[in-house]
Amino acid sequence: MMANNKDSFPHKSSSSSSNRDSRKEKNLSFKERIANVKTTRWIRFGIVSLIFFLWVIWMGNPWLLFIWLLLCDIYITSYIPWTWWKDTKGTTRMVMGWVDAIIYALILVYIIFAFIGQNYMIPSSSLEKSLLVGDYLWVNKALYGPRVPQTPLHFPLEQHTLPIINTKSYIENPQLPYHRLPGIRSIKRGDIVVFNYPQGDTVALKIQNPDYYQISHDLRNNGITDPKAYMEANPEIFGEIVYRPVDRRENYVKRAIGLPGERLMIRNDSVFINGQPIAEPTNIQYNYIIPVKANIPEIRWEEIGVSKDDYSAGMGYNESTGTYYYNVPLTYEMKSKVEKWPEVIGAVLSEHQTGMFDLSAGIFPLDNPYGWSRPFMGEFWIPKRGSTLHLTLDNLPIYERVIKVYEGNDLEVKDGKIYINGNPTDYYTFKLDYYWMMGDNRDRSADSRYWGFVPEDHIVGTPMFVFASFDKDKSLFDGKIRWERILKSANPDSGKW
């Protein structure tokens, strides 16, 4: 009987023993703690320490070395009871085991997404045919040098909003100053670049396209003197007006066309840098007006690679000629095929060649005092870090947002003079590098032609390859998965310009 009673309480005996061991461990001296560490744990600690020291050197911040003391305690001394839950039993031990695993996973994901790379999905057609809607990309953040997170307290799997509960996925404070770690190389012309949307600092949650600044501009033109107050007074239309830090703004992907310090001009859709025309991307597209005598079968569009959204929404009627037409984006190769279709009854011309559309609406800078349009812009200079520009009332609209918003200065014009931070001046020295980004689907890309320069502190990285691709117009068993695109380079023209 006594033997049976003793054997029927094994868990209590084990727990008591574990508690005694824990109390004993708390009373160990520093030398005893060091002596009790197993060789394998020393090896793991050495590997972790080496990685940590290399990271500190990369970060260039010696204050981070204090974190190493925590690593010492986690792996060696154990003054803090990091694994206290392992001495418990039942539900507590099970729950804490899951919590421990999830925390480790989130920390690992946070580090990878912040300093190495992250996944990104192409939501729009601005880079077709180079990148397709439904492509999932791996974005390399190390190539240009990763940014130290400016908003360090954020959920690593969501850009700015947590799904379902629709709340912010980040805590705004603290906000760290912009700092980029050393990279392998700088941005080259022709690189496809992922960046935070420059005009995404203020957002009307119910209307995000057009953006807040375009909405404000349109409201002023309609007699609303205080657009912000008007939007806040009409939340049923515009939703809540929120501010987003730089690294929590929407991610955009475009091609780098203009680099810091260069002069850029667009003439008849051709881009000139420092007075010389530059090469076009391999798969560049423009919108073409196709006059037809009958509807073009879906299979024909599908064969040349025009999406259903593009050809179904592109049908129109030209009252001046009394003919129907399609307005669709085409590469030069696709255009040559379309011109031979029997349904086509006239010349296939680009949008600006027909004169049927207003191509100046919304063009940078807002209010467009220069008469620019999408196919005709410039010439203007792209700001470069450390370079000084002679400011005039004529060129100020091009650089006003850069000076005020991106570089944080007070700027105003009084009595025909420019004042920066309260001082009259005709010159300004830029603190950051800036880039001019454009899409390959030129006439269906919301890019720098509409919102101007991209500051260097908005640069996220460059896509390296497609790891998955899904065609939204196809079913699962009818070609939805684009197998031929998996592991395909996402930046084939990089370095060719």
If DSSP states are collapsed to H, E and C, what string results for the chain? CHHHHHHCCHHHHHHHHHHHHHHHHHCCCHHHHHHCCCHHHHHHHHHHHHHHHHHHHHHCCHHHHHHHHHHHHHHHHCCCCCCHHHHCCCHHHHHHHHHHHHHHHHHHHHHHHHHCEEEEECCCCCCCCCCCCCEEEEEECCCCCCECCCCCCECCCCCCEECCCCEECECCCCCCCCCECCCCCCCCCCCEEEEECCCCCEEECCECCCCHHHHHHHHHHCCCCCHHHHHHCCHHHHCCEEECCHHHCCEEEEEEEECCCCEEEEECCEEEECCEECCCCCCCEEEEEEEECCCCCHHHHHHHCCCHHHHHHCEEEECCCCEEEEEEEECHHHHHHHCCCCCECCCCEEHHHHCCCCCCCCCCCCCCCCCCECCEEEEEECCCCCCEEECCCCCHHHHHHHHHHHCCCCEEEECCEEEECCEECCEEECCCCEEEEECCEHHHCCCHHHHCCEEHHHEEEEEEEEEEEECCCCCCCCCCECHHHCCCECCCCCCCC
- Cα atoms in the Cβ-side hemisphere of radius 13 Å centred on 219: 17
Q: Kindly report which listed range (1-5, 260-264, 346-350, 379-383) carries the lowest average pLDDT score.
A: 1-5
Residues 217/256, Cβ–Cβ less than 8 Å: no
Instruction: Look up residue 289 and give its two tokens.
Output: 């007006």
Q: Which carries the bigger pLDDT value, residue 60 or residue 225? A: 225
Residues 209/126, Cβ–Cβ less than 8 Å: no
Mean pLDDT (the chain, rounded): 89
What is the pLDDT, as a whole number, of residue 17?
A: 47
What is the pLDDT, as a whole number, of residue 490?
A: 83
In this predicted structure, the answer to whether residue 13 has a pLDDT above a threshold of 50 is no
In this predicted structure, the answer to whether residue 239 has a pLDDT above a threshold of 50 is yes
In this predicted structure, the answer to whether residue 431 has a pLDDT above a threshold of 80 is yes
Whole-Å CA distances, 385 to 142, 163, 275, 404, 407? 21, 38, 22, 16, 11
What is the pLDDT, as a whole number, of residue 282?
A: 87
State mean pLDDT over 63-73. Answer: 89
- Strand pairing partners for 330? 286
- pLDDT-derived band at 126 (thresholds 50, 70, 90) equals confident
Residues 464/494, Cβ–Cβ less than 8 Å: no
Residues 138/117, Cβ–Cβ less than 8 Å: yes
Q: Residue 344's closest CA among 422, 292, 270, 283?
A: 292
pLDDT in tens, 285-330: 999 999 999 999 999 999 998 988 888 887 888 888 888 999 999 9
In this predicted structure, the answer to whether residue 8 has a pLDDT above a threshold of 50 is no
State mean pLDDT over 129-150. Answer: 91
Q: Which carries the bigger pLDDT value, residue 428 or residue 361? A: 428
**pTM for this prediction:** 0.85
Q: Which carries the bigger pLDDT value, residue 227 or residue 164? A: 227
Most confident of 134-138, 365-369, 375-379: 375-379
What is the pLDDT, as a whole number, of residue 494?
A: 63
Spatial distance between the Cα atoms of 174 and 373, rounded to a whole number of angstroms: 41
In this predicted structure, the answer to whether residue 395 has a pLDDT above a threshold of 60 is yes
Q: Kindly report which listed range (130-139, 336-345, 372-381, 402-411) carries the lowest average pLDDT score.
A: 130-139
- pLDDT-derived band at 262 (thresholds 50, 70, 90) equals very high
What is the pLDDT, as a whole number, of residue 479?
A: 80
- Strand pairing partners for 162? 167
What is the pLDDT, as a whole number, of residue 200?
A: 95
In this predicted structure, the answer to whether residue 10 has a pLDDT above a threshold of 50 is no
Spatial distance between the Cα atoms of 450 and 285, rounded to a whole number of angstroms: 18
Q: Kindly report which listed range (86-100, 164-178, 245-259, 269-283) carries the lowest average pLDDT score.
A: 86-100
State mean pLDDT over 228-244. Answer: 95
- pLDDT-derived band at 270 (thresholds 50, 70, 90) equals very high
Q: Kindly report which listed range (54-63, 195-204, 268-277, 454-463) carries the lowest average pLDDT score.
A: 54-63
Q: Kindly report which listed range (96-100, 123-127, 245-249) carries the lowest average pLDDT score.
A: 123-127
State mean pLDDT over 330-335. Answer: 94
In this predicted structure, the answer to whether residue 3 has a pLDDT above a threshold of 60 is no
In this predicted structure, the answer to whether residue 407 has a pLDDT above a threshold of 80 is yes
Q: Kindly report which listed range (79-88, 229-238, 357-366, 367-376) carries the lowest average pLDDT score.
A: 79-88
Q: Which carries the bigger pLDDT value, residue 125 or residue 391? A: 391
Instruction: Look up residue 288 and give its two tokens.
Output: 């073409």
- pLDDT-derived band at 493 (thresholds 50, 70, 90) equals low
What is the pLDDT, as a whole number, of residue 496?
A: 58
In this predicted structure, the answer to whether residue 180 has a pLDDT above a threshold of 90 is yes
